[in-house]
Structure 1
Amino acid sequence: MTITVRTEGIGPSAVFALPWLVADELGYFAEEGIEVEFVRNRAEQVLTEPVADHELVDSIRNHVPFEEGQVDVYRACEWGQIRRAADSRRGAKIFGKRSSVAVMALMSAPGSPYTYPQTLAGEPIAVSFHNGNHYAAIQMLEGFLEAGEIKAVGYHTIDGYRAVQAGEAAVVALSEPWITLAEKQGFQKVIETHYAGLELAAPNFDHDVYLGCNRAITRAVADINADKRAYLHYLIDSLPAVFAGEITPADFHLPRLRYVKPEPYTHLEFEKAYSWMRRWGLIESGSRYEDLVFPGPGTEADAEADADAAR
């Protein structure tokens, strides 16, 4: 019997879903008895103008199909997934770490005076609230600026990009393939980082199926790392149509694209991320690892048992 798994993967999230897309292309899911259906994410709350207060933005706004039961599993940044697991009306659970180690960069317009982190003190930084670029922007800048000097403003990615071009924002936080596009168009990179992500799934999602997905993804990760350029068309195609033809696989700096095998999400990792979010007022108190992380096989306890057995 073939089991169908519905997941986000086309559109803006292609860079984070690349191992899923490649595993499907190469038939690895089919060999596990799994059929994957890729669903485009959809926002219920659409920002029509910049927003200065992240509390006015719904943490789940880009992942409505999951909350409606149309998606079984999806991936995003570690911090955002902790927040969404806590906010989920469906009872989402963290099943493990995603295989995409995301890159995020703060990019300023060509020739602008924003050339290193300290120049951003008090200046508007275009981010997408409750997504990786929001949290990563803060983490990149807190070593250079005081908390009150970091002025994050919520935009959709393309609107933030345009705001920087128009001089309405100092920098925009971008992932790939937007970084490659921005560099091709002469933007300046102010600072860059990599960060982890998590997979969220429905509370009743079969963990054996999830482990089967991870076996397929692990194989795809090996293929991607052996020849990254062969799969960059997924990223290029995820850009808005207005940028069609702007970049090619040859334009990418391949070391930015990092893919690893899926791993369990540990209690220590959760506590560090959650503590940081609390310190910045990005999540309410009261969430616990035991409440938000699925306790099935392949999680931290199972990994520790395997390590003990190997010793």
Structure 2
Amino acid sequence: MRKLVLETTAPFQGLPELVAYDEGLFETEGLLIEWVDREAGIEKKTALDVTSPKGVNPFASHGRLFEQGKADMYNACEWGNYCRVQETGVKSRQLGRRAIITYSALVVPPDSPVYTPQQLANRTIGVPFYFGTHYIALHMLEGFLPRDMIKLCQAPNGSRFRLASMLRGEVEATTLTEPHITLAEKKGCRPISSAFFHGTEVASERVNAETYAAFSRAVREAVRRINANKRGYLHYFIDYHGKDDPEIAALTIDDLRESRVVVCDPAPIPLDEMQRTFDWLKSWGMLEATASPFDLVNLDLQTQAHHAAFHSREVTS
């Protein structure tokens, strides 16, 4: 068995990996998975005076233990991972897209006068910089507003903390993921806009093509099982958060929407999409130290691993 140490992941960003772990799919591929808690000891607060990612640590959560040599891989949003890999001190590289396509919504409190994205002009929106719910806010708003009218501030990673911050009146809107979108709706909050986004896997030099191919095969089987019975896996969203949150624990799977859970086979990052993502990040003043997106992805290992995973599936199916 090959040992692979992963940073912890929540269902909204890692449901297939959690299913693969619980149902023994990694062991079937000869992998022994160990989880390390990336959230331990992290302060959760809103900082109204922090209005851009400049100067913010991209490794405040995702990649924190990885950069210390305590994990072999982590997954996070694709946009943030380009930025993290640029700043890596341990030669990390992206290896391909993760399996889940994360659903996120931009939400306002029940008493908000905002009903459309355009009405968020110059209103304070709390986002966790370098996380998917930061970048998706920009994507959802720049079609409605000039960029200089999009006003962000630093809010904690973890949807529960951002929802609480918004309901305390610290920010006027925030981005959430499931199951906290559902909880927010139960509290009378209104989703103003929503969208899906990709994430990627980041690995150290200790992860070779054979190991990543085995990882991907296990995740592919988890994807197949989830897509065959989405309702049967909705409890993950409640169980994961409900152990520390009685309001989430009180939800049932009937409260959650299957349509918000989208998974597909992990795959290489398409080169045209890679370039567009890179150009978009640069247009927002990020990735200033990187000349090409190819510097941030191990293209050879990505190709080898995904070919091996796909070819093995064809041979064994």
Cross-structure match for 1:150: 150
> Where does residue 185 of structure 2 map in the other structure?
183
Q: How many residue pairs get matched?
A: 302
For residues 92 and 184 of structure 1, the distance between their equivalents in structure 2, rounded to whole angstroms, comes to: 41
| CA distance, structure 2, for counterparts of residue 44 and residue 180 of structure 1 | 27
Q: 1:109 aligned to 2:109? A: yes
Q: Is the 8 A contact 1:266 1:300 kept in 2?
A: no
Matches within 5 A, 1:8-157: 8-10=7-9, 13-42=10-39, 46=43, 48-50=45-47, 51-63=50-62, 64-156=64-156, 157=159
Q: Confirm or deny: 8 A CA contact 1:278 1:285 kept in the other structure.
A: no
Residue 93 of structure 1: how far off its partner (Å): 0.6
Match in the other structure for 1:253: 257
Give 1:225-304 correspondences, 5 Å limit.
225-239=227-241, 240-299=244-303
Query: How far 1:287 moved relative to its partner?
Result: 3.9
For 1:5, give the aligned amino acid. Answer: L
Give the secondary structure class of the aligned counterpart of 2:174: strand
- Runs of 5+ in structure 1 lacking a partner? 307-311
In the alignment, the residues of structure 2 paired with residue 301 and residue 216 of structure 1 have an alpha-carbon distance, to the nearest angstrom, of 13
Shift of 1:228: 1.7
Q: What secondary structure is seen at the aligned counterpart in 2 of 1:296?
A: helix
Structure 2: gaps spanning 5 or more residues: 311-317
Distance 1:136 1:14 in 2: 18
Q: Deviations over 1:91-140 (max 9, x none)?
A: 11100001010111001111321111011000011111110010000000
Q: Secondary structure at the match of 1:173?
A: strand
CA positional deviation for 1:237: 2.9
**Matches of 2:124 and 2:240, distance apart in 1:** 26
Q: CA deviation at 1:213?
A: 0.7
Quote the offset at 1:241 in angstroms: 2.5
The DSSP-based 3-state class of the residue aligned with 1:143 is coil
TM superposition shift of 1:146: 0.5
Letter in 2 for 1:225: N
1: CA distance, partners of 2:283 / 2:73: 29
Say if 2:227 and 2:263, in contact at 8 Å, map to a contact too: yes
Following the alignment from structure 2 to structure 1, what is the Cα–Cα distance between the partners of residues 284 and 290?
Answer: 15
Query: How many angstroms apart in 1 are the aligned matches of 2:280 and 2:42?
Result: 26
- CA apart distance, 1:173: 0.4
8 Å contact kept, 2:278–2:293:
no
1:190 is displaced (CA, Å) by 0.2
The structural deviation recorded for 1:225 is 1.2
1:234 CA displacement: 2.3
Q: Distance in 2 between matches of 1:102 and 1:210?
A: 21
Question: Percentage identity across aligned positions?
Answer: 33
CA contact (8 A) 2:7 2:36 kept: yes
Match of 2:4 in 1: 5
Query: What code does the residue aligned with 1:7 have?
Result: L
Shift of 1:301: 11
CA deviations 1:265-284 (Å, max 9, x no partner) are: 13322211010011011321
RMSD between aligned residues: 2.2
Give the TM-score, by structure 1 length.
0.90
Equivalent position amino acid for 2:254 in 1: A
Alpha-carbon distance in 1 for matches of 2:39, 2:249: 25
Partner of 1:194: 196
CA distance in 1, matches of 2:213, 2:305: 15
Deviation per residue, 1:16-43 (Å, 9 max, x gap): 1111111122221111111111222137
The worse-fitting range, judged by mean Cα deviation, of 70-79 and 47-56 is 47-56
Q: Distance in 2 between matches of 1:23 and 1:96?
A: 18
Deviation (angstroms), 1:53? 2.9
SS at match of 1:238: helix
Letter in 2 for 1:228: K
Q: Which residue of 1 aligns with 2:313?
A: none
Higher deviation after alignment, 76-85 or 42-51: 42-51
SS at match of 1:38: strand
SS in 2 for 1:130: coil
- What TM-score do the two structures reach when normalised by structure 2? 0.89
Any idea what SS the aligned residue of 1:94 has?
strand
Asked if structure 2 preserves the Cα contact closer than 8 Å seen for 1:109 and 1:171, the reply is: yes
